[in-house]
Amino acid sequence: MAVSSRRAMVALSGGVDSSTAAALLLQQGFEVAGAVLVHGDYKIQEAAQKAARHLQIPLYVYDIKELFEKVVVSYFLESYLKGETPNPCVICNLKIRFGFLLERAQELGFPFLATGHYARCLYHEGRRRYLLAKGRDKAKDQSYFLYGLKQEQLRHILFPLGGYTKGKVREMAQRWGLPGAQARESQDICFIRGDYRRFLRERAGDRIKPGPILDVRGRLLGYHQGLPFYTVGQRRGLGLGSGKPYFVLGWDVQRNALIVGEEGDLKKMRVLFSRENNYILWEEPPPSAEITAKVRYRGKETAAFWYNLGGGRARVEFADFPGAMAPGQSVVYYQGEWVVGGGIIEGYESEYGRMACRL
């Protein structure tokens, strides 16, 4: 017996976005089931169960605490300890939500997995590829976190909210009486309560050592509490007590030294290098291309030239300062509404030389 193509599992947290995504699919005639991923906060499971009861759909509960620890938390810790600023949401989307959960959906006979992301997935006849586009609501667009998706994932993904604004989603949720319609959005890392520095101290305090703070000419300015507690572009919390502001430019892991400079030094960041690039718009990446790019989710989308270095690596030359380029964060490339792809920032170029965790 063939599996109906009108069946979708929805990643259900009980919040307004995932609940509205499920309700929209039901209106479109889909057979819908919810699935909640639990890795510590059981309030999410309770909220998902409440939403599923309201929607009258079955709910599958997956306790992924061990998997989440192995895949996301360990990546988060090790990235900081090797001198990078990790982006756990990108890894979670790729390996947990659209990896583990997509596999569970297909095992249960659901051809599609839907989420409440503000993005769009479309099949392009001319390119014969599934493409990823920005969500209609530019203030809520979440395509930045999804650049790592592959064709075999995109063909099975639905983003019901991609064509709506957040205001319209809340309006629909209220009209339909959905639980969580007025819930506040969480902006924090989902597995950390409070300051991430405390989390690092608790989990890896013996591997974090204080050291010198140096300016770009090697002069000693003060001492830091541990390199993982700082990120490129950071201004506050350096404890230098000087009359002029300093910004973190990078660090020398060998000397356990934090490198700082003035604002003018920071804004000279115009060239970055990235690794582990994934391309959605292109089947085979060209030698070079004109793009726009973002180096942070809330960063400025800036015009740039992209160059293929081979082996999954790229060089990006920006027309203007796009924001602090922190190794470990994601750089995402766009052409208009389309997501070209993206990769992990491994370092940047400055007049002082190549910086990638060291000067």
Tokens 């990006």 sit on residue:
316
> With pLDDT > 70 as the criterion, what percentage of the chain qualifies?
94
Q: Above 80 in pLDDT, residue 186?
A: no
pLDDT tens readout for residues 328-349: 999 999 999 999 999 999 999 8
pLDDT score of 356: 46
Cα 154 to Cα 92, 179, 204, 281, 333: the distances in Å are 16, 29, 36, 12, 17
Q: pLDDT tens, 99-143?
A: 999 999 999 999 999 999 999 999 999 999 999 999 999 999 999
pLDDT at 193 over 50: yes
Whole-number pLDDT of residue 123:
96
Torsion angle defined by CA atoms of residues 143, 148, 152 and 153, in that order, rounded to the nearest 10 degrees: -50
| Rounded Cα distance, 82 and 77, in Å | 9
**Single-letter code of the amino acid located at 25:** L
Q: What is the pLDDT of residue 179?
A: 86
**Does residue 352 register a pLDDT over 70?**
no
The candidate with the shortest Cα–Cα distance to 246, out of 259, 261, 230, is: 261
Confidence grade of residue 26 (pLDDT, cut at 50, 70, 90)? very high
What's the distance, CA 66 to chain centroid?
21
Residue with the two structure tokens 């030389």: 353
Q: What's the pLDDT band for 359 if we cut at 50, 70, 90?
A: very low
* Sheet strand arrangement including 7-11: 59-63, 31-38, 7-11, 112-114, 157-158
pLDDT surpasses 50 at 96: yes
At residue 187 the predicted structure's pLDDT band, cuts being 50, 70 and 90, is low
- What's the pLDDT at 177? 94
Residue 244 is predicted with a pLDDT of 84
Q: Cβ neighbours of residue 357 under 8 Å, at least 6 residues apart?
A: 82, 83, 84, 250, 251, 252, 253, 327, 347
Mean confidence (pLDDT) of the chain: 92
Q: What are phi and psi of 304, to 5 degrees?
A: -160, 165
pLDDT digits (tens, 9 = 90+) for 223-245: 999 999 999 999 998 988 777 89
All structural domains of the chain, each given as residue ranges with its CATH number in brackets, are 7-175 (3.40.50.620), 209-266 (2.30.30.280), 271-355 (2.40.30.10)
Active-site amino acid positions: 92, 190
pLDDT tops 70 at residue 15: yes
DSSP string, 58-87: -EEEEE-HHHHIIIIIHHHHHHHHTT----
Residue 17 dihedral angles phi and psi, to the nearest 5°: -70, -50
pTM: 0.93
